[in-house]
Amino acid sequence: MGFVTYDDRRLCGQLHGKRFQVTYRLQGDLDSARALAEAVCREQTVEFPLEAIPPGIILDRVVGQLESLQPANDGGYLACISYAEEIAAGEFTQLLNVLFGNISIMPGIRVEAVELTPALLSMVRGPRFGTDGLRARLGISRRPPVFTALKPMGLSAHELADLAEAFVESGVDIIKDDHGLTDQVFAPFDERVRRCAEAVAEANIRTGRRAMYVPNITGPAEQMFERALRAKQWGAGGVMVAPGLTSLDAMRALAENDELALPVFSHPAFIGSYAVNPQGISFPVLFGTLMRMAGADAVIFPNYGGRFSLSREQCLGIAEAGRSPLGTLKTVFPSPAGGMQLENIGEIVSSYGPDVLVLIGGGLFTCGSDVRRNCKRFVTAVEQAYDVWERKNAAQKSAAEGA
Amino acid sequence: MGFVTYDDRRLCGQLHGKRFQVTYRLQGDLDSARALAEAVCREQTVEFPLEAIPPGIILDRVVGQLESLQPANDGGYLACISYAEEIAAGEFTQLLNVLFGNISIMPGIRVEAVELTPALLSMVRGPRFGTDGLRARLGISRRPPVFTALKPMGLSAHELADLAEAFVESGVDIIKDDHGLTDQVFAPFDERVRRCAEAVAEANIRTGRRAMYVPNITGPAEQMFERALRAKQWGAGGVMVAPGLTSLDAMRALAENDELALPVFSHPAFIGSYAVNPQGISFPVLFGTLMRMAGADAVIFPNYGGRFSLSREQCLGIAEAGRSPLGTLKTVFPSPAGGMQLENIGEIVSSYGPDVLVLIGGGLFTCGSDVRRNCKRFVTAVEQAYDVWERKNAAQKSAAEGA
Q: DSSP secondary structure string, B44-76?
A: TTT-S-GGGS-SSHIIIIIS-EEEEEEE-TTSS
CA distance B88 to B224: 26
Mean pLDDT of B198-210: 98
Q: DSSP secondary structure string, B161-181?
A: HHHHHHHHHTT-SEEEE-TT-
CA distance A159 to A164: 9
Q: What angle do CA B158, B155, B361 make, to 5 degrees?
A: 105
How confident is residue B369, by pLDDT bands cut at 50, 70 and 90? confident
Nearest to B272 among A104, A159, A270 (CB): A104
Instruction: Quickly list H helices, A215-271.
Output: 224-234, 243-246, 248-256
Put simply, the chain A residues between 41 and 100 with a CB less than 8 A from any chain B CB are 43-49, 51-53, 57-58, 62, 86-87, 89-94, 96-98, 100
- The residue of chain A nearest to residue B16, with distances taken between CA atoms, is A185
Calculate how close chain A gets to B67, using CA atoms only, in Å. 21
Q: One-letter amino acid identity for A374?
A: N
How confident is residue A227, by pLDDT bands cut at 50, 70 and 90? very high
| Sign of the alpha-carbon dihedral angle for B254, B259, B265, B267 | negative
CA distance A100 to A96: 6
Say whether A86 and B368 touch across the interface (CB within 8 A): no
Mean pLDDT of B85-92: 98
Segment among A174-188, A277-291, B152-166, B306-320 with least mean pLDDT:
B306-320
Please give the ipTM for the structure prediction.
0.97
Calculate how close chain A gets to B125, using CA atoms only, in Å. 13
- What pLDDT, in 10s, does the model give residues B150-164? 999 999 999 999 999
pLDDT at A95: 98
Nearest to A62 among B10, B107, B153 (CB): B153
Mean pLDDT of A383-393: 97
Dihedral angle of Cα A175, A267, A262, B251, to the nearest 10 degrees: -140
Peptide bond before residue B243 is cis, with ω within 30 degrees of 0? no
pLDDT at B1: 47
Say whether B362 and A48 touch across the interface (CB within 8 A): yes
CA distance B66 to A46: 47
Preferred mutation among A94, A105, A311 to probe B, highest tally of B CBs within 10 A: A105
Cβ(A31)–Cβ(B399) under 8 Å? no
Residue B48 with chain A: CB contacts under 8 Å: 151-152, 361-362, 365
Say whether B2 and A369 touch across the interface (CB within 8 A): yes
Residues written for chain A:
403
- What pLDDT, in 10s, does the model give residues A252-311? 999 999 999 999 999 999 999 999 999 999 999 999 999 999 999 999 999 998 777 899
Pick from B184, B249, B258, B181: which is nearest to B213 by CA?
Answer: B181
Preferred mutation among A16, A18, A36, A93 to probe B, highest tally of B CBs within 10 A: A93
Segment among B3-7, B9-13, B224-228 with least mean pLDDT:
B3-7
- What pLDDT, in 10s, does the model give residues A92-113? 999 999 999 999 999 999 999 9
CA distance A266 to A291: 8
Residue A218 sits at the chain B interface (C-beta within 8 Å) = yes
Say whether B308 and A222 touch across the interface (CB within 8 A): no
| Sign of the alpha-carbon dihedral angle for A225, A229, A232, A234 | negative
pLDDT at B74: 85
How confident is residue A366, by pLDDT bands cut at 50, 70 and 90? very high
Residue A218: pLDDT over 70: yes
Residue A365 with chain B: CB contacts under 8 Å: 1-4, 48-49, 52
CA distance B179 to B182: 8
Inter-axis angle of helices A312-323 and A345-352, to 10 degrees?
Answer: 50
How confident is residue B308, by pLDDT bands cut at 50, 70 and 90? confident
Residue B338 sits at the chain A interface (C-beta within 8 Å) = yes
Calculate how close chain A gets to B44, using CA atoms only, in Å. 8
Contact partners, residue A264, CB within 8 Å, separation at least 6 = A127, A128, A238, A239, A240, A241, A251, A254, A255, A295, A296, A297, A298
Give the mean pLDDT of chain B. 96
Instruction: State percent of chain B over pLDDT 70.
Output: 99
Mean pLDDT of A219-234: 98
CA distance B334 to B291: 11
Nearest to A246 among B184, B247, B365 (CB): B247
CB burial string A43-63: b at 16+ within 10 A, e below: bbbbbbbeebbeebbbeebbb
CA distance A300 to A268: 6
CA distance A194 to A399: 52
Nearest to A2 among B93, B103, B374 (CB): B374
Mean pLDDT of B57-71: 98
Mean pLDDT of A248-254: 98
Q: One-letter amino acid identity for A9?
A: R
CA distance A174 to A335: 11
Residue A264 phi/psi, 5-degree rounding, is -115, 125
The count of other CB atoms within 10 Å of the CB of residue B5 is: 12
Preferred mutation among B40, B63, B105, B309 to probe A, highest tally of A CBs within 10 A: B105
Instruction: State percent of chain A over pLDDT 70.
Output: 99
Segment among A33-42, A157-166, A301-310, B330-339 with least mean pLDDT:
A301-310
- The residue of chain A nearest to residue B278, with distances taken between CA atoms, is A277
Say whether A2 and B365 touch across the interface (CB within 8 A): yes
Q: What angle do CA B105, B109, B111 make, to 5 degrees?
A: 110
Put simply, the chain A residues between 1 and 20 with a CB less than 8 A from any chain B CB are 1-7, 10-11, 14-15
pLDDT at B160: 98
Residue A92 with chain B: CB contacts under 8 Å: 220
Q: What angle do CA A112, B44, B61 make, to 5 degrees?
A: 175
How confident is residue A52, by pLDDT bands cut at 50, 70 and 90? very high
Calculate how close chain B gets to A386, using CA atoms only, in Å. 26
Mean pLDDT of B41-62: 96
Peptide bond before residue A152 is cis, with ω within 30 degrees of 0? yes
| E-strand stretches of B72-166 | 77-84, 109-115, 146-150
Say whether B366 and A51 touch across the interface (CB within 8 A): yes
CA distance A338 to A353: 19
Say whether B268 and A184 touch across the interface (CB within 8 A): no
Nearest to B245 among A4, A97, A105 (CB): A97
Name A252's bridge partners: none
pLDDT at B305: 87
Which pTM was predicted?
0.98
- The residue of chain A nearest to residue B247, with distances taken between CA atoms, is A247
Q: What DSSP state is assigned to residue A220?
A: -
Calculate how close chain A gets to B131, using CA atoms only, in Å. 25
Residue A1: pLDDT over 60: no
Inter-CA distances, B61 with A96, B42, B57, B148, Å: 40, 11, 5, 49
Calculate how close chain A gets to B187, using CA atoms only, in Å. 10
Pick from A200, A190, A221, A204: which is nearest to A150 by CA?
Answer: A200
Inter-CA distances, B238 with A158, B243, B254, Å: 46, 15, 11
Preferred mutation among A11, A40, A191, A245 to probe B, highest tally of B CBs within 10 A: A245
Contact partners, residue B93, CB within 8 Å, separation at least 6 = A182, A218, A219, A220, A221, A245, A246, B247, B249
